[in-house]
Structure 1
Amino acid sequence: MTGEPETAGTPLTAVEQVFRESSGRAVAVLTRLLGDIDAAEEAVQDAFTTAVARWPAEGVPPSPAGWIVTTARNRAIDRLRRESSRDVRHRAAALLHDPDPPPEEGAVRDDRLRMLFTCCHPALAPAARVALTLRLVGGLTTAEIAHAFLVPEATMAQRLVRAKTKIRAARIPYRVPAEADLPDRLGGVLAVVYLVFTEGHTASTGDRLVRPDLCAEAVRLGRELAELMPDEPEVLGLLALMLLVESRRPARTTPEGELVPLAEQDRRRWDTALVAEGQDLVRRCLRRGAPGPYQVQAAIQAVHSDAPTAADTDWRQVLALYDQLLVLAPSPVVALNRAVAVGEVEGPAAALALVEELDLPRHHLRAAVRADLLRRLGRPEAAAAAYGEAIELAGNATERAFLERRRAAVSPRSGAAS
């Protein structure tokens, strides 16, 4: 079972919209009520299947998310009643007569935040923790999670199955972690929140560049974490990072929905309240003197937000911060972003040499950066070929359209090469 509504290949419907925005919350709520993740997923899937059948004829209910949770709960009760076990039938009766039990005591009261920490149990492998939480909390599809991990979809599907099997086999409970357990779970939780935000900022698939529901959910979870653990600088750093990036969303697309790169954005359209809040959090992190990867990434975004125009960007400071980030969290993606900064400080030839050495196969951003550097070096044919590779690898239609315009601009056949 995928846990996704069976509406693939159709236009975005109300059911699909609610699934994207509310499936994670519904699974979290039902898991608290049922105490079983698989049963919760099945109940939510049943509810969405019912919505697919009924909403086109009956109309969308006033509270679609609430309708899904209520219907899922009723489906779960029906399923429990059919079970032969007396204990199971008693659970159904208890659920029927106590539909809204009081929240558990403990540090984490929010259902999705509770699910986040539960999925990040140390008995699970780190990659499995992140993938499972993206599925159960973020409501991402298996394909979207696979894209985030740079692995085939079939590999990710197997990983998710193994993670849920491990939860059953190890009898990992769905419960609020004790205060003492929170710091040990934090790394996986922060990774999950950031990946949810990343998928929302630039959707890996589909026609829309941005999924505002995922961005809003990630920021909401970030705020909850900051309230829960205000003395953890990496929590503040992640929240600052998300706020500063989210502040640019109004300027990231044209009225027609076309992508606008950072250097070409109208910075007057940035959300100044989010910029100010993000910069204040960065300053708070700097005063603590315990830099971590999320804090450094937030500082990089703060440098961009300080510049009134793209030409005013302090690229040397950006490069110095990427040097620090590469030490704290070395990865090909960090190295790719550092190469972009090198291109601004030392020129495109120096940056291209770094990009050529990167082991980042089948990643459209590497191909896109390489194409831009080749364009700047006056090599239009090579740039057009690199743009073609990026177009082939990009899963988002808005990104593909942007890359196609770039390729057309450098193609010798267009007469626009320089």
Structure 2
Amino acid sequence: MANLPHRRPPFRPDAIVPTPRHVLRKRRTRRSRRHARRPFTGRSLPTRSLPRPNSTFRTCPSRGAMVAPTTPPFGPRRHQRRCRAQRHPQRTPGGYRRPASPSTLPQSRPRAQRPSFRPSWQPHPSHTVVDPCGRQSLPPSVVAPHPTAARPQLRQRPPATTCALRRPARTRGAAVTWLHSEIVTRQRWDEHVWSLTLRHRGETHRPGQWTNLALGVGEARLRRPYSIASAVGEPLEFLLAKVNGGALSPQLHALQEGDRVWVEEGAYGWFVLDDVPTSQCLWLFATGTGLGPFMAMLRSPKALQRFKNVVLVHGVRRAAQLAYREQLCTMQRATAPAAGARNAAGMRFHYLPLVTRERAVGTLAGRITARLRDGSLERATHATLSPQHAHVMLCGNPAMVAETSALLKQRGMRKHRRRRPGHITTETYW
């Protein structure tokens, strides 16, 4: 039978023309873009983009989509569900999982009956989300955050079994208890430096901590922090300095014995010996009233029995400002080699006063940093200031603390921290 022009010619295998490679490449690109993974924004889907390489997904050999490796890539409806699970991770948080039996397959429902997206976060009622396009303000329930799968999940630290802080931190806005304490003694060291001893019945403190003193100024109560210079269990004592033009120190300077001052109940601060690592020699550098916390430590000898030598370097402008000088010299003589080499606590104490603006008998001239550079402090005490044998505590003028810390870092010392022990512990006064 002759071939008619309106009929298809018979099939012959040798007449098949292979499809060019560039045509096949374009087809694969279209299919991959059709089923590409796209993040869900809550209102509209972004433009289609090429699939990103991901180690947890592989390319579907039949349609070019990114599918889970545990799911066989056959079946049109299953393929659509896979793509939907990848595009909307919030709607399918567990991803695509093969059902146990065909009866458990979810039935397709109209779009109006499908569950709407519900964000996992609850916005504040007063918050208003503004439309990026600037058309109108949308309620928070309309704008959804980014998918959870696209955000990095931070590992939460398990709760600690024991509290690392020895005293709970005071929260902002918490009630503060004030005690009206009476001034028992007032010791004048200089026209600008003096000390007050109070009859106070409050909580105990640790040597090196501070508390607040306050006075009523009009209807308000003006307060300032001051370091405690007394030992634990003794009446509170403070070493104070008058600041010209200050708000509280001139009024405290005018108080006499028998007057009363407000004292906050409780002590604060971590400039204490409990956090200082044990070393062969403990160096204490102070300027002015920075001697206060060190006096509380020296009056508690049990806290210093871990150290073989303790060196106190106190720098002032004039010799009259050397507070507690007689008491410190008595402690030095009690631990001198001629008196039995050590005291009852097993510690040898060295006291080095420095005066900068005048010459005084029994003192060194110059600043602490100058005497530290030329080695005068080490020669006077026969102690080594090195990272292997010493720990340094600095208190007082911020300029002295910064310059001395820089000199100590040149010797290989570093700042002491709880999680990274070092050799320098500091506290500045302003």
TM-score range, shorter chain: under 0.3
Structure holding more strand per residue: 2
- Look at both structures and tell me which one has the larger radius of gyration over its CA atoms: 2
TM-score norm. by structure 1 comes to: 0.22
TM-score norm. by structure 2 comes to: 0.22
